[in-house]
Amino acid sequence: MSQLAIFVVLLALGYGFGRMAESRHYRSIVEREQRHARISTLTLRTLESEPATVRRTQLVSGNVVISVDYFKRVAAGLRGFFGGNVQAYESLVDRARREAVLRLKESCPGAAHILNLRVETSSIYKGRGNGIGSVEVLAYGTAVYFDVE
């Protein structure tokens, strides 16, 4: 009975602290996305019409690794047993993707556009059960800088 109580307490703590950390991270992401909204990110390889002379281009990247909290691990295990969407992991991947793109934008101040944006994800497995321990997201593209006229 005490093991069940410990499990429930750990589950509640994981849920509470995980939600708190996730909410704080989302607030940070939204604020930074607004600050860097002027840099457009496009999957196009080239611009249709260039408004000014291109001064230079540069390969830029942003990378993030976000760990899976205890509650998400338990929720995903239950979803794996019963089937269906794993919403706990969907929010994790969304935060990681948005954070990686933000880090990419922060690595190229003064750029007008990021062309040929690519995003790659991977899982980092942990333990004997091959459970997901973390999610890594890499965003990369070409920053375009124009001459100021």
Q: What is the pLDDT of residue 103?
A: 96
CA distances from 58 to 6, 25, 105 (A): 52, 28, 12
What is the pTM for the complete model shown? Answer: 0.80
- The Cα 10–Cα 2 span in angstroms is 12
Domains of the chain: 2-146 (3.30.110.70)
pLDDT of residue 73: 66
Strand runs labelled E in 3-149: 40-41, 54-67, 113-126, 131-146
> What is the tens place of the pLDDT at every residue in 112-128?
999 999 999 988 776 66
Structural contact between residues 145 and 60, judged by C-beta atoms closer than 8 angstroms: no
Strand order in the sheet with 54-67: 40-41, 113-126, 131-146, 54-67
The pLDDT of residue 5 is above 80:
yes
Tens of pLDDT, residue by residue over 76-112, are: 666 666 666 767 778 888 999 999 999 999 999 989 9
3-state secondary structure of 30: helix
Cross-strand bridge partners of residue 118: 140
User: What is the per-residue pLDDT for 50?
Assistant: 67
